[in-house]
Structure 1
Amino acid sequence: MRIIFLGPPGAGKGTQAARIVAKHGIPQLSTGDMLRAAVAAETPIGVKAKAVMDAGGLVSDEIVIGIVADRIDEPDAKKGFILDGFPRTLAQAEALDAMLASKHLELDTVLELKVDQTKLVDRIVKRAEEARAAGQPVRKDDDPEVFKTRLEAYNRDTAVVSPYYAARGQVIEIDGMQTVDEVTAAIEKALAGH
């Protein structure tokens, strides 16, 4: 089962991906984690990425796709994987398709958590307040201004990825405003055919 998770920050992708991992035994692939692992392991692509990062640059789509390509060849990803937070742009989606095709693989589905973005900001503010009240550190991403900036970046750059996959009939929309368990049930229903 090869899945892409789409949705704005704070929609619950990480929570739901963890549940899919637990139930189906496929890894959740975070490009950030994979990038750090490739650099630490000093893989050929990791060495390239480190050089770019050390120079203060952003890692190119080519390097990110290379890291994803290496990672999905690992044994735990043979049954499938969840891409969360990638692809972020249309160019990355196209490059991902080309890379998967070169490996004779296809995506099974694209799950998109649909949320009311105004309520999403309220949800993040509440989460930060609850963390403060419990004496816990507030996640940097839960600062309302930081979150709004991330949301704007998502709407500007990443929201175009959904229509790309929708045009191919691969997107299944899930109401992300339901309770966590209701969202999980809707996802499981959507995945039942795979």
Structure 2
Amino acid sequence: MLKQKNLIFIGAPGAGKGTISGILLAKYPFAHISTGDILRDEIKRDTQLGREASVLMKAGKLVPDEVVAGMVRARLAQPDCQKGFILDGFPRTIHQADLLGEALRELNNPLDRVIYFKVDDELLLQRLTARQNCRKCGEIYNKLFMPSKVEGVCDKCGGELFQRPDDSLETAKSRLEVFYKQTQPLIDYYEKQGLLLTVTETDKDKIVAALEQELA
């Protein structure tokens, strides 16, 4: 087991957070915490926070940081998070980071490391604009770097592969601009706390090996 096991993954769209999470989750008993998954689960279970979020979303409004942080705190309080967690997609702002810090202090389960996957924009754009998703199971492929064995067909379930509209070059560039504007302050925030680990390697096996060495 890794000694440093309470982690946040930060990276631009296409940086490989999901791929590395999947590899680590197969090897270690981490809880993978995605705000999107939590939001859907809270709404499905009709919790108080879920009802609040549902009303706002139906009205086309953003869910406030406090509501999202409350959901994340509830998830972090579950027993499986005592073995370690990977937070993916939260926090996105300094305010959210402050709320997360308060929650972790209350739970006496402090953050160990923030992993920043730093990838050149040119490579990110190549990854994003060549990305394909399976309509059936949601598996992600890349026509350039991780193609399916049969073009247009999912290796896992045989479903049809398609490209999402938001994976166009113009949209990809816009997503990167938003990421840098929103996230750079967060990177600085965690760097000042001595928690930031920047990964510039792009080979997934080398990334995992480096993380295992750093977090041991």
Give TM-score, length-normalised by structure 2. Answer: 0.82
Structural RMSD (CA)? 1.8
Q: CA 1:76–1:144 in 2, change beyond 3 Å: closer, same or farther?
A: same
State the partner residue of 1:40: 44
Which residue type is aligned with residue 173 of structure 2? K
Q: Could you list the structure 1 runs, at least 4 aligned residues long, displaced by more than 6 angstroms after superposition.
A: none
Moved more, 95-104 or 30-39: 95-104
- 1:57-68 alignment, distance < 5 Å: 57-68=61-72
Deviation at residue 121 of structure 1 after TM alignment: 0.9
Q: How many residue pairs were aligned?
A: 191
State the partner residue of 1:156: 181
State the partner residue of 1:181: 205
Which residue type is aligned with residue 174 of structure 1? V
Distance of 1:65 and 1:143 partners within structure 2 = 31
Give TM-score, length-normalised by structure 1. Answer: 0.91
State the partner residue of 1:110: 114
1:169 aligns with 2:173: no
- 1:111-150 alignment, distance < 5 Å: 111-127=115-131, 130=143, 134-135=151-152, 136-150=161-175
Distance of 1:151 and 1:89 partners within structure 2 = 16
Deviation at residue 89 of structure 1 after TM alignment: 0.8
5+ long unaligned stretches in structure 2: 133-141, 153-160
Deviation at residue 118 of structure 1 after TM alignment: 2.2
Q: Is the 8 A contact 2:82 2:109 kept in 1?
A: no
Distance of 1:158 and 1:28 partners within structure 2 = 20
Q: Matched residue of 2:177: which SS?
A: helix
Q: Give the structure with the larger helix fraction.
A: 1
Deviation at residue 119 of structure 1 after TM alignment: 2.4
State the partner residue of 2:78: 74
1:25 aligns with 2:49: no
- State, as a whole percentage, how many aligned pairs show the same letter: 40
State the partner residue of 1:91: 95
Equivalent of 1:54 in 52, 58, 71 = 58
Q: Matched residue of 1:160: which SS?
A: helix
5+ long unaligned stretches in structure 1: none
Residues 30-64 of structure 1, C-alpha deviations (whole Å, 9 max, x = no match): 10110010010011111111111122111000000
Q: CA 1:73–1:140 in 2, change beyond 3 Å: closer, same or farther?
A: farther
